[in-house]
């Protein structure tokens, strides 16, 4: 069965500092990995995804994520955080198999202070 773990409930960083939001996954086959962001009282917005190829994926709003197959991780990163990046971030995984659903982690709240 697929599963996703986000080990941190909350990440606090100062504006201008780099940020990392951690994600590990478990699938039986090859994974497709996604990051989403949710602002208060809104739906989820897609940030980026890993399909295959380059382990460093670039996405929206300056975010990037690094896929590490040996560590089964897909950490979200940004070189310089903004206060407006404060939100709830979700990692998600889907197996490379027809008919499988998209499974989410429990989310990590990112708080960026000025």
Partner 1 sequence: NAGVTQTPKFRILKIGQSMTLQCTQDMNHNYMYWYRQDPGMGLKLIYYSVGAGITDKGEVPNGYNVSRSTTEDFPLRLELAAPSQTSVYFCASSYSGTQNTEAFFGQGTRLTVV
Residues engaged in binding partner 1 (CB under 8 A): 6, 9, 32, 34, 36, 41-46, 49, 51, 90, 92, 94-107
Phi and psi, residue 84, nearest 5°:
-70, -10
Query: DSSP string of 58-105?
Result: E-GGG-EEEEETTTTEEEEEESS--GGG-EEEEEEEEESSTTPPPEE-
Min separation Cβ 86 and partner 1, Å: 17
Q: Which is nearer to partner 1, 25 or 90 (CB)?
A: 90
Q: Which is nearer to partner 1, 4 or 19 (CB)?
A: 4
> Cα–Cα distance between 92 and 52 in angstroms, integer?
16
- Least distance CB 46 / partner 1 (angstroms): 4
State the nearest-atom distance from the C-beta of 113 to partner 1, in Å. 22
DSSP state of 20: E
Least distance between partner 1 and beta carbon 62 (Å): 18
- Quote the tokens at residue 29: 């086959």
């Amino acid at each position: 069965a697929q599963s996703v773990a986000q080990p941190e409930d909350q990440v606090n960083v100062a504006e201008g500092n780099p940020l990392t939001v951690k994600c590990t996954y478990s699938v039986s086959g090859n994974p497709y990995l996604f990051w989403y962001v949710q602002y208060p009282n809104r739906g989820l917005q897609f940030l980026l995804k890993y399909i295959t190829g380059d382990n460093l994926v670039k996405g929206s709003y300056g975010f990037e994520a690094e896929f590490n197959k040996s560590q089964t991780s897909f950490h979200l990163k940004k070189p310089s955080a903004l206060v407006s990046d404060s939100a709830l971030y979700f990692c998600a995984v889907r197996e490379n198999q027809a008919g499988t659903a998209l499974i989410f982690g429990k989310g990590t709240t990112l708080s960026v202070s000025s």
